[in-house]
Amino acid sequence: MMNSGTFKVTTPSDLEIAMTRVFNAPRRLVFDALTKPELVKQWLLGPPGWTMPVCEIDLRVGGAYRYVWRKDTGKEMGMGGVFREIVPHERVVCTSCSTRRGTPVRRWYRTSWSSRAARQRLQ
């Protein structure tokens, strides 16, 4: 799967950030890269020196996901959430919770796909 080099960030409202990227890959591969732990661990990495020793994804409505990153110094950070809607190869809606300086930060994410031949627009 190749990133076509397109990446766009907009702010549709005071409470929303929209990010769009186009990939030269079939829908199935883009969906798999976002939902299969063995693939997520290959790209959802932090800065140099960080690894992802925990990547758990229970891909079903009501199922949870959990990511933990570890720095080579032993410091860890993590996040997780619950899947609210899953339409394979089309849309994933989930919650997310992480902690910033001891304060929980909660968000909603919606990831959707649109196609033009073999190019996938991920929003």
pLDDT attached to residue 54: 95
Tell me which residues of the chain have a pLDDT lower than 70: 1-5, 100-102, 108-109, 113-123
Alpha-carbon distance of 121 to 19, in angstroms, equals 10
Q: What is the 3-state secondary structure (H, E, C) of 47-88?
A: CCCEEEEEEEECCCCCCEEEEEEEECCCCEEEEEEEEEEEEC
Which pTM was predicted? 0.79
User: What pLDDT was estimated at residue 47?
Assistant: 83
Rounded to an integer, what distance in angstroms lies between the CA atom of residue 119 and that of residue 114? 9
Q: Give backbone dihedrals phi and psi of 81, rounded to 5 degrees, phi first.
A: -175, -170
Q: Which amino acid is at 91?
A: R
Beta bridge partners of 79: 67, 98
- Give the per-residue pLDDT at 40: 93
pLDDT, residue 71, reads: 93
Element (H, E) at 34: helix 27-35
